C-alpha cells in the first residue's frame, strides 16, 4: 500500500464503535450445534457477499473451544480448502502479541517501567548499545516512554508517511541493501524525521512505534524478537504454530494459505528495489522489518488460545492481575483514544471487550475479540476486499468490517439479532 493511504485504512480497520449485543450464558447453556449453524450461515453469507477466497474461524466460551472451521479455498489453483489448521498472516493483531510480550518482560518493574524513556543514554534502547539511535533530529524523541509506544502516543504517525512501507528509499538513505531492516528503519526515522506531535499529547495509531517495541524486546531479553515472543507468550499459551511470515509465495510455510490480492488493486514495486513489480501481498511486504507490528502468522485457534491465556480464561494467566489491569487502561486525558496497552478496549452493554484487527493490503484481514461475558473468537481471511484507489472505497471498507465483526458477533452471542 502506498504510505499516504495508510491513515485512512488504519482508522477504519481499528474503529471500535460497532454496537455489539451482549448476551451472557453459562457453559451448559451453549448449544454447539445451533451455534455452528448460525456461524456457518453467516460465514457463507460473508463469502458470497465479498470476494474472499478463504477464511477460518475459531470460537471459545469460558476457555473451552466450542467451534472451529475453515471456509472456502486456501489455494484456489489446487482446490485446497481452508481447514482449522490453516495458517494466515494476522497483520496488526501482531501488536497485541508484542504488547503482551513487553508487559511480561517488564512485569516485575511495573508500573514504573511504563514511564521510562526509550532513547538516550539511560533509555531502554541506550545510546551505548544503539549508537545509530543517538542524537535524534527531534530532541522531543528523548521524552518518549514505553507507555507512549504501547498506546500510540509517541508523537509519530500523524502524517501520511509510514516508514514500514518505505524500505527501498530508507535502504538507499542508509546505504544498505534493500529492503531496509527494522533497525535501519528506526535509525532513519530518528535521524531524518520530525515528530508529528509532542510525546504523550496525541493518539496516532501507527506501525512504527511497535517496530521500536520489538527492538526493546530483543534488548531486554537478549534474544531475537521471534524467539523471545515464542518463549514469553506463545509457548506458555500452548501455541506452537505461530511464526513470523515469509515474504514470497515460494516461502509459504506448511499449512499456510495463499494470499489473493483484490483484483482491482494494481501491481506494486518490489520492496527489494529491483524495479520489478508484482502483487502487493508478495512484493511489497518484508516481515522481518515489520515483525513486531504486523509480522506474525497463526491459525484462528492459535489466536483464541493466545487471548484466553493472556487473560487467564481456562488456564493460568500469562500476566499477573495488576499487569492485566494496566493493560486494560485507556488514556483518561484522550477521549478519542480507546487503545489500552496493545488492545482496543471498549465496553458494550456493560461488557468489557478487548480486540484488535489486522489488515495487509490487499491479501489479509484478521480480527480477534475477547469478551468479559465469556466469549473469545477470531476470524482470518486471505483477502482484504479494498477497492483501488482506496480513498474512494472507505465506505465499502467500513461496510465490510461491520459485516464481519457485527455479523459474526450477533451469530455467536445473540441469535435473535437480525
Q: What is the pLDDT of residues 24-64, one digit of tens each?
A: 444 457 889 999 999 999 999 999 999 999 999 999 999 99
Percent of the chain with pLDDT over 90: 84
* pLDDT on residue 414: 74
Asked if the structure places residue 280 within a domain, the reply is: yes
* Cα–Cα distance, 189 to 156 (Å, whole number): 10
Three-class SS state of 231: helix
Spell out the alpha helix ranges (H) of 222-345: 225-229, 280-283, 291-294, 300-311, 321-327
Give the model confidence (pLDDT) of 285-306 as tens digits.
999 999 999 999 999 999 999 9
Position 418 in a domain? no
Query: In the prediction, which pLDDT does 410 show?
Result: 92
* pLDDT value, residue 17: 37
Q: What is the pLDDT of residue 336?
A: 75
Would you say residue 29 lies in a domain?
A: yes
Confidence at residue 417, expressed as pLDDT on a 0 to 100 scale = 53
13 pLDDT higher than 90: no
On the question of pLDDT at 89 being above 60, the answer is yes
* 340 within a domain of the structure (yes/no): yes
Q: Grid coordinates in use for 8?
A: 485512512
Give domain status of residue 164, yes or no.
yes
The grid coordinates of residue 404 equal: 464481519
Average pLDDT in the 207-216 region?
98
Average pLDDT over residues 160-172: 95
Answer whether 47's CB lies under 8 Å from 72's CB.
Answer: yes
- Residue 292 belongs to domain spanning: 3-413
Grid coordinates of 111? 508500573
Shortest CA distance to 84 belongs to which of 306, 304, 284, 413?
304
pLDDT digit string, tens, across residues 314-357? 999 999 999 999 999 998 777 778 999 999 999 888 899 999 99
Q: Is the pLDDT of residue 403 over 50?
A: yes
Within a domain: residue 382? yes
pLDDT, mean of residues 268-272: 95
pLDDT at site 415: 65
Q: What is the band of 223 on the pLDDT scale with cuts at 50, 70, 90?
A: very high
What is the domain-level CATH number for residue 120?
A: 3.40.710.10
More confident site: 298 or 392: 298
Q: What is the pLDDT of residue 327?
A: 98
**What backbone torsions phi and psi does residue 367 show, to the nearest 5 degrees?**
-150, 135
Total domains in the fold of the chain: 1
Q: Is residue 184 part of a domain?
A: yes
Amino acid at each position: 500500500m502506498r504510505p499516504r493511504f495508510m491513515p485512512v485504512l488504519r482508522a477504519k480497520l481499528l474503529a471500535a464503535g460497532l454496537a455489539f449485543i451482549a448476551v451472557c450464558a453459562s457453559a451448559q447453556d451453549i448449544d454447539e450445534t445451533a451455534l455452528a449453524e448460525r456461524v456457518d450461515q453467516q460465514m457463507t453469507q460473508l463469502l458470497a457477499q465479498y470476494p474472499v477466497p478463504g477464511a477460518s474461524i475459531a470460537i471459545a466460551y469460558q476457555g473451552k473451544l466450542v467451534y472451529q472451521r475453515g471456509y472456502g479455498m486456501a489455494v484456489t489453483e489446487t482446490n485446497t480448502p481452508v481447514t482449522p489448521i490453516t495458517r494466515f498472516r494476522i497483520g496488526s493483531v501482531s501488536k497485541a502479541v508484542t504488547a503482551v510480550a513487553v508487559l511480561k518482560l517488564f512485569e516485575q518493574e511495573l508500573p514504573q517501567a511504563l514511564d521510562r524513556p526509550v532513547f538516550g543514554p539511560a533509555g531502554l534502547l541506550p545510546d551505548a548499545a544503539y549508537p545509530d539511535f543517538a542524537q535524534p533530529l527531534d530532541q522531543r524523541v528523548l521524552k518518549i516512554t514505553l507507555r507512549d509506544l504501547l498506546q500510540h502516543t509517541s508523537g509519530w504517525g500523524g502524517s501520511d508517511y509510514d516508514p514500514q512501507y518505505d524500505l527501498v528509499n530508507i535502504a538507499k538513505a542508509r546505504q544498505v541493501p534493500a529492503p531496509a531492516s527494522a533497525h535501519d528503519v528506526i535509525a532513519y526515522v530518528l535521524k531524518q524525521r520530525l515528530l508529528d506531535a509532542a510525546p504523550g499529547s496525541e493518539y496516532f495509531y501507527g506501525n512504527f512505534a511497535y517496530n521500536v517495541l520489538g527492538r526493546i524486546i530483543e534488548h531486554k531479553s537478549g534474544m531475537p524478537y521471534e524467539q523471545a515472543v515464542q518463549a514469553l507468550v506463545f509457548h506458555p499459551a500452548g501455541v506452537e504454530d505461530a511464526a513470523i511470515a515469509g515474504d514470497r509465495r515460494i516461502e509459504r510455510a506448511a499449512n499456510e494459505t495463499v494470499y489473493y490480492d483484490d483484483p482491482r488493486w494494481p501491481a506494486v514495486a518490489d520492496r527489494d528495489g529491483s524495479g520489478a513489480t508484482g502483487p502487493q501481498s508478495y512484493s511489497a511486504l518484508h516481515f522481518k522489518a515489520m515483525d513486531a507490528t504486523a509480522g506474525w502468522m497463526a491459525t484462528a485457534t492459535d489466536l483464541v488460545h493466545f487471548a484466553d491465556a493472556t487473560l487467564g480464561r481456562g488456564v493460568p494467566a500469562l500476566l499477573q492481575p495488576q499487569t492485566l489491569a494496566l493493560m486494560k487502561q485507556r488514556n483518561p486525558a484522550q477521549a478519542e483514544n480507546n487503545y489500552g496497552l496493545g488492545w482496543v478496549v471498549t465496553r458494550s452493554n456493560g461488557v468489557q471487550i478487548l480486540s484488535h484487527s489486522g489488515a495487509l493490503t490487499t491479501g489479509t484481514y484478521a480480527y480477534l475479540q475477547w469478551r468479559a461475558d465469556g466469549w473469545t473468537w477470531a476470524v482470518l481471511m486471505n483477502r482484504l476486499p479494498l477497492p483501488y484507489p482506496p480513498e474512494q472505497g472507505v465506505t465499502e471498507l467500513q461496510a465490510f468490517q461491520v459485516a464481519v465483526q457485527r455479523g459474526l458477533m450477533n451469530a455467536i452471542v445473540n441469535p435473535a439479532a437480525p
